[in-house]
Structure 1
Amino acid sequence: MANKIKETINSELERLVGRFMRNTDLEIATLVAAFKKSDFLAINRIGHNIKGTALNYGFKHLAEIGRSIEKAGADEDVENIERLLLCLKDYVVCVEIEFEED
């Protein structure tokens, strides 16, 4: 298992984070399905959505993974997409969320 990844999130979002993480799990499943079909447009779009939503919540590491998936989808980079899917799966297992006040 990978090392823990710490994300510091505004405490005002605390009640929303559980749903956000469940949605991230759904996006992973959708990405895996798109990857199996070589649907690079969907991979690009989902990576873009992950990046944007993660940034809105303050998940900087997750946003970077989303950005990389977005680019790999645009480039149709199969090997990188496969590696990034593993990174994304590891991320949701390893992330430690710390809440801070403004």
Structure 2
Amino acid sequence: MIETPIIERIDADLEELMERFFAGSHREVEAMRAALAEGDFTALARLGHTAKGTGYGYGFRGMGHIGLALESAALAKDHAESISQVERMARYLATVRVEYIR
């Protein structure tokens, strides 16, 4: 199944940072998966909090929303919901497309 791209409108001044932003975000998803595998909800909550701040800070509202949901799930030690949110983040990063605005 091909997912419909998610379009985020990002300030054009941030364009040169996007390659590093996405590389870091993909590494964070792997860290989230590792924290899940270890049952480390403290680390998972921190990673969700970071994704929330980074996403909202750069203008990636979808990432911010998912980070918030992940942080909440991890703080509640809800394993199933945490898995769901980590996979949601992975899908988001795989499908998001940037539209630069001036």
> TM-score scaled to structure 1, two decimals?
0.96
Counterpart of 1:68 in structure 2 is 69
Counterpart of 1:90 in structure 2 is 91
For 2:82 and 2:4, the matched residues in 1 are separated by: 21
Q: How many residues align?
A: 101
- Stretches of 4+ moved more than 4 A in 1? none
Q: Which runs of 5+ in 1 are unaligned?
A: none
For 1:53 and 1:87, the matched residues in 2 are separated by: 16
For 1:32, give the aligned amino acid.
Answer: R
**How big is each residue's C-alpha offset from its partner over 1:63-87, in whole Å with a ceiling of 9 and x where there is no partner?**
0000001101100011101111111
> TM-score scaled to structure 2, two decimals?
0.96
> 2:18 aligned with 1:17, yes or no?
yes
When the two chains are superposed, the root-mean-square deviation of aligned CA atoms in Å is 0.8
Counterpart of 2:58 in structure 1 is 57
For 1:97 and 1:4, the matched residues in 2 are separated by: 10
